[in-house]
Amino acid sequence: MLDFEKRLQNIGQQTILCVGDLMLDDFVYGEVGRISPEAPAPVLAVKRNEIAIGGAGNVARNVASLGARCIFVGLVGDDEAGREVIARLQADPLIEPSLVVDRTRPTTRKVRFVSEHFSTHLLRADWEQAGPVDAEREGELLARALAALPRVGAVVLSDYAKGALTPRLLGEIIAAANKAGTPVIVDPKAADYSVYRGATVLKPNRKELAETTRMAVVSDDDVVAAAGKLNVDLGTQAVLCSLSDDGLMLVPARGAPIRVPAYPVKVKDASGAGDTVVAALAVMLAARADFEVAVRVANAAGAIVVGKRGTATVSAEELRHQVLPASTLASEDKVIYDRTLLAERLAEWRRARLRIGFTNGCFDLLHRGHVKLMAQARAACDRLVVGLNSDGSVKRLKGPERPIQDVASRAEVLAALEAVDLVVVFEEDTPLELIRQVRPAVLVKGGDYTRDKVVGREIVEADGGEVILVDLVPGHSTTSMVARSRP
């Protein structure tokens, strides 16, 4: 997650190609206060309804809401629902619809009846005709997708098993994207996953992974084994398995699995959450983020959208605040001098399976470079611990005229940053003993260090963690600021 902020800033430069099954979602909201006298069924007193583009179209909406452009290739019927879909897609300036009209089938439409008081779906009514498109429509969809491919940084194949994504279409798009070096993310629904052979990332949920591999998928080890089998069988670079309330697990063909726990959120509606995850993943991979960054961002996006009603989207600003959340603690509650309290907090985080990061310094005069360091460090983990040199430690390292601010002032300013979860004051000249206690998964330092000079590197890497060096902001250092302030 080192470059989260940089990748987020680059989202507006990305274009994603999304090809898949399009549908119209209609949510009818109301209250249930009685049972029908005609039949043992609840009566929904309708208050309002909300219409949104669903299915693969929801991927396109989420790509656009994040600030990237989306070329959308899909199929609609020659009907009122199809015209509604076209109008809504055309109204979004960041979506370029390239739709094929099939007069032989209706536009897929889903109407959900929802009790607002209980946040419960009472009934869903579907209008659809599943089954592969005919050869003529298949050719049109394929031609439009291949024509758009040179303009995009990633491809999403959103399969809802309605017939737009035929084996031939999937095979030719994946082959062309691989030849161009463009990542392909597949949200699969086919009974036979061999049609997705060669994709970059497959995103099944736990149930789908179990069904396609015919393996038990209960524990994390089961997920790793089943996903690993898919990688071998299909030549994919990674499988991203949705674990519902337990978060996401990415199993790459090479390297260690990446387990990302779910955010503690109140779920209002999970409709379309998988589309949001896929959209965020595609945008980040198009921006050349690595799997670690992309999966953590996708997980955050999914957490935001399940807290909303209906087929919802997420913005880049919402995403930033989810990945770098404002602290729920007062500044003074984030500062620790007692290592026993630190142990309690670490144990709590580890029980929640959170990824812990660490950075350290004197932070005498907080400046822009420090803020960037904290933001990028926090983006690499779920909780960030900052080791802060005590006053005595600073004097020994920097000279008798330092620190300019005492440790309480420095700690409080650091704790006020939204990226910082905990500030721990240490007396030693180096944070080595503190790092031994924290055992972080990520150790972050400024780019003025070389990897072999980072204190604690051996400890972190021995545990399978990583060391990240953040580029410095030119002209910003406490020493230079102090020098400039002197007459």
Give CA 233 to chain center in angstroms.
26
The answer to whether the CB of 53 falls within 8 A of the CB of 24 is yes
**Active-site amino acid positions:** 275
Residue type, position 44, single letter: L
Distance CA 404, CA 354 (A): 35
Burial letters for 356-388: b for 16+ Cβ neighbours within 10 Å, e otherwise?
bbbbbbbbbbbbebbebbbbbbbbbbbbbbbbb
The answer to whether the CB of 284 falls within 8 A of the CB of 7 is yes
For the sheet containing 356-361, what is the strand order?
Answer: 335-336, 422-426, 383-389, 356-361, 442-446, 466-470
The answer to whether the CB of 407 falls within 8 A of the CB of 380 is no
List of long-range contacts for 451-455, beta carbons under 8 Å, 24+ apart: 455/430, 455/431
Calculate helix-pair angle for 273-286, 56-65, nearest 10 degrees. 50
For the sheet containing 108-115, what is the strand order?
Answer: 42-55, 22-35, 108-115, 120-127
Q: Secondary structure of the chain: what % helix, strand, coil (to 5)? A: 40, 25, 35
The answer for residues whose C-beta is within 8 angstroms of residue 148's C-beta and 6 or more apart is: 17, 71, 73, 98
